[in-house]
Amino acid sequence: MKRTMGTVGKVVKSTFIIQPIRILIIINSIFLPLLLGVLIFIILKYAREIEDIIDKAKKIEGMVEDNINLGINKIKEVYAGTSNAVEFSQNQLTFTNTKIFIKEHLLRPILEYIDPTITITTDILAKIKTKLGKMPDMNFTSLLDVSGHSINDIILFIKPELITQGFKEALINKVLKEDRSIAYVLTHVIMNGQI
């Protein structure tokens, strides 16, 4: 009798374990094809809209890339001293060339980016350029380094002089929060026809 009770106990234990697993397998075998069918239906129904969104994203990415290239080409042009510089040499990234680049070619676009409504006189430029003369070396190592470098270092260095010259601190802080690159600012100015 003990032997029979042990066998019955094992059967009951295995039934409590096996039956729920069997039920889950049956439910899974019914619902999984249904869910897959619904998923395929949704993909097929909205495939065109999804493709359109992906195509638009690719176009926007291409446009942004083309526009940033405008700024990079302007940097090449300024450093190389020609309008169609194809090659860019490491020895052009000297401390002196960088100062000239910032003072003569980057300062005005930065000022116009901060506040396009302010009239930038030669007197304002001269005072800010004097302040820039004391700026430490940016230590640019490549064209990519120049183009991707944030303008915040320059703005923070000349911020007191900008405020003295009539630039609003709120606008300066707004540009600092944007943390734009040199190539972005040059592209912005080129796209607005200011260069």
Closest CA to 189 of 129, 126, 106: 106
The two tokens of residue 71 are: 């700024």
8-state DSSP, 90: G
Q: Residue 172 and residue 175: Cα distance in Å, rounded?
A: 5
Closest CA to 75 of 173, 184, 152: 184
Residue 39 has pLDDT above 90, yes or no: no
Strand partners, 181: 150
Three-state DSSP class for residue 181: strand
Q: Residue 106 and residue 99: Cα distance in Å, rounded?
A: 10
Sequence-separated (6 or more) residues with CB below 8 Å from residue 6: none
Strand partners, 150: 181
pLDDT of residue 174: 93
48-63 confidence digits (pLDDT tens)? 888 888 889 888 888 8
Residue 3 has pLDDT above 70, yes or no: no
CB atoms within 10 A of CB 164: 13
Query: pLDDT-based confidence at 8, cuts 50/70/90?
Result: low
Q: What is the mean pLDDT of the chain?
A: 79
99-156 confidence digits (pLDDT tens)? 888 888 888 888 888 888 888 888 888 888 888 888 888 877 777 788 888 889 889 9
pLDDT of residue 76: 78
* Residue 183 and residue 68 in contact, taking contact as beta carbons nearer than 8 Å: yes
* Residue 148 and residue 165 in contact, taking contact as beta carbons nearer than 8 Å: no
Least confident of 39-53, 75-89, 108-122, 180-194: 75-89
Tokens 């601190």 label which residue? 169
Q: What percent of the chain has pLDDT over 70?
A: 84
Task: Estimate to the nearest angstrom the gap between the alpha carbon of 127 and the chain centroid.
Answer: 33
Q: CA torsion sign, 107 to 112 to 115 to 117?
A: positive
Residue 2 has pLDDT above 70, yes or no: no
